[in-house]
Homo-oligomer: A and B are copies of this chain.
Amino acid sequence: MLYFEDLQPGQRFLSGAHTLSEAEIIAFARQFDPQPFHTDPEAAKQTFFQGLAASGWHTSSLSMRLVEQTELGQAANGLIGMQIDQMRWPQPTRPGDSLHVEVEVLDKRRSGSQPGFGVVKVKWTTRNQNGGIAMQLECAIWMQCRAQEPGAAV
């Protein structure tokens, strides 16, 4: 189990990799982002993406699963995102791309309103097999503390 006290700025977590197939890209897009550049390899060639590309929401959702499989997924109260501060997709993700996520702890503070909890800011960088950045985000996660802060009001 991982608690607020266990995380420190600068700490890093590295996920395993997942290779996205064309079929997975198309199945996700048909359900959530049915645009030709995500669902139709032929039609995609004439678009902005010049070929089939995964929906950004697919890349992000897959990144969530990969992060849960790191030690960070052992958070005592679960991995609960409060807010995403910035999310971007610098490079398209193509069929056959193998993605992994690097997580870095940026900052942390105890909650003022809820004793026993804290907010940890983390940065996720999802990279493909060539090191290219498929997705990057910064978010605040809600973490349970192992103990009350000494002298804290209860």
Contact = CB atoms under 8 A, between A and B. Distances in A.
Interface residues of A, number: 35
A79 interface: yes
B88 A83 contact: yes
Q: How many copies does the complex hold?
A: 2
Contacts of A84: 84, 86-88, 137
A36 B29 CA distance: 25
B65 A31 contact: yes
Contacts of A28: 61
B37 A78 contact: yes
A35 interface: yes
A33 B80 contact: no
Given A35-B68, A83-B88, 19 more contacts: A31-B61, A32-B61, A32-B64, A32-B65, A33-B68, A34-B65, A48-B78, A48-B80, A55-B61, A55-B64, A57-B57, A57-B60, A57-B61, A57-B64, A61-B61, A82-B88, A83-B86, A84-B88, A87-B87
